[in-house]
Amino acid sequence: MGRKKRGTPIHGWINLNKPVGVTSTQAVGKIRRALNAQKVGHGGTLDPLADGVLPIALGEATKTVNYIQDATKIYEFTVTWGEQRTTDDAEGEVIQTSDARPTLEEIDNILSGFIGDIEQVPPQFSAIKIDGERAYDIARDGDYADIKSREVWIEDLSVLPQAGKPATADNKNIEQAETSFSCICGKGTYVRSLARDMGRKLGCFGYISSLKRTKVGPLVIESAISLEVFEQMIDNPDQGKDLDGVLLPLSTALDDIPVLALKDQETSRVKNGNALSFLSKPDLARLDALGIDWKSEDITDALVTYDDQALALVEIYGAKIQPKKVFNI
C-alpha cells in the first residue's frame, strides 16, 4: 500500500502578486502552509528584487507548468545608468562605473537592436547550470561561470513615459540618470541581461533598479492576489479557506490550445491512458470543428474534457488521440 499523501488535494492556479523581498520559493512555501496543499509549484522564478505576477500551480495543475513557462511575458523595469554590478541589479556589488549618461534620443536609437530574435548571455548570478552546478553558486564562490549565449525572443521594447514629463523634442536630448521600459518577451529572457547589454551599447553601463512582471500568458497584474491574503490564512488557521476568486481552473494555463469534449466511453479509455481513434464522419467532424487538420502529419496538443472538467492533455496525430498527461482529479 502506497504512503498516504499529506495535505489537502487542491487543483488549479493562483495568480500571485509577489512582493519585493520575497523569493519565489518562499512564496510557494507560504501558500503551501496557508492552504495545507499537497503539491505546490510555480511557473517561472521572479528575483527577490522583483514584484508582480508569479503563477502558482497546485496539485494536478503542476502538470501544465510548461505551458505557463512558455507563455509570453510583459515586464516593466527601470535601468539606472552609470554602473555595472555583479548581479546586474541593485543587489550586486559595483564592478564598473562611467560618468556618461544617455539621452532619450540615444536610447531610442539602440532599441531596435534588442527586438526580435537576439543573442543574450544570462547573468552570472542566474540559475543556469554549468557542468551540473548553478551559475549563482559559482559566482558566490568568487569564480567566473562560463555561460554560453543563447537566442531569446523580444516582441517589443519601449521607453515608458516619465511621470509628469510628456515626451517632447526638447527633453529628447536631456541626459538620463535612469530610464523606465516596457518589454514583451518570450521564454528564457533575462531582463537583467537586457539592462546590462543596453548599458554597454550606450557606453555608460546600467543595472536593473526596479522590476515588475505585469503579465504571464493569461495572468495579469490587475487580477493578481496579494501574498497578504495567504499570510492572513496562516495567522488564522481556524478560519475556513474561501478560495472563490483566488483559485483559477487547471485549464487556465491551456487557454491557447484546442479543447475537445469527450463522451462517456471515450472518457473511460482516456482515464486509463488508452488512445482513441476517430474513424466515423461525425467524430472527424468534431476535429474539424476545432480547426484540427487531421489529414496532415502535424501533431497537435489539445485538452480533453468531460462535463466541463479537465481530463487530460493529449496529442492528436491524424485521427488518433493519444493521452500525454492524465489529470487525477
Q: What is the pTM of this model?
A: 0.91
CATH superfamily of this structure's domain 12-70+218-251: Pseudouridine synthase (3.30.2350.10)
> Average of pLDDT values for 215-244?
89
- The C-alpha cell at 129 is 547550470
pLDDT digits (tens, 9 = 90+) for 264-276: 999 999 999 999 9
First to last CA, the chain: 20
3-state secondary structure of 280: coil
- According to the model, what pLDDT value does residue 167 have? 56
Assigned CATH class of 73-216: alpha beta
- According to the model, what pLDDT value does residue 35 have? 93
Active-site amino acid positions: 47
CATH topology of domain 257-326: 2.30.130
Distance CA 23, CA 19 (A): 9
- Domain coordinates of the chain in residue numbers? 12-70+218-251, 73-216, 257-326
- According to the model, what pLDDT value does residue 169 have? 58
Distance CA 112, CA 162 (A): 20
Distance CA 316, CA 58 (A): 26
Q: Is the pLDDT of residue 329 over 90?
A: no
- How would residue 1 be classed by pLDDT, with cut points 50, 70 and 90? very low
- According to the model, what pLDDT value does residue 174 have? 86
- Most distant CA pair in the chain, distance: 75
DSSP 140-195: HTTPPP-PPPEEEEEEEEEEPPBTTB---TTGGGSB-SEEEEEEEE-TT--HHHHH
Distance CA 258, CA 286 (A): 11
pLDDT digits (tens, 9 = 90+) for 56-100: 999 999 999 999 999 999 999 999 999 999 999 999 999 999 999
Q: Taking a C-beta distance cutoff of 8 angstroms, is the pair 50, 169 a contact?
A: no
Identify the residue with better confidence: 124 or 106: 106
The reply to whether domains 12-70+218-251 and 73-216 share a CATH topology is: yes
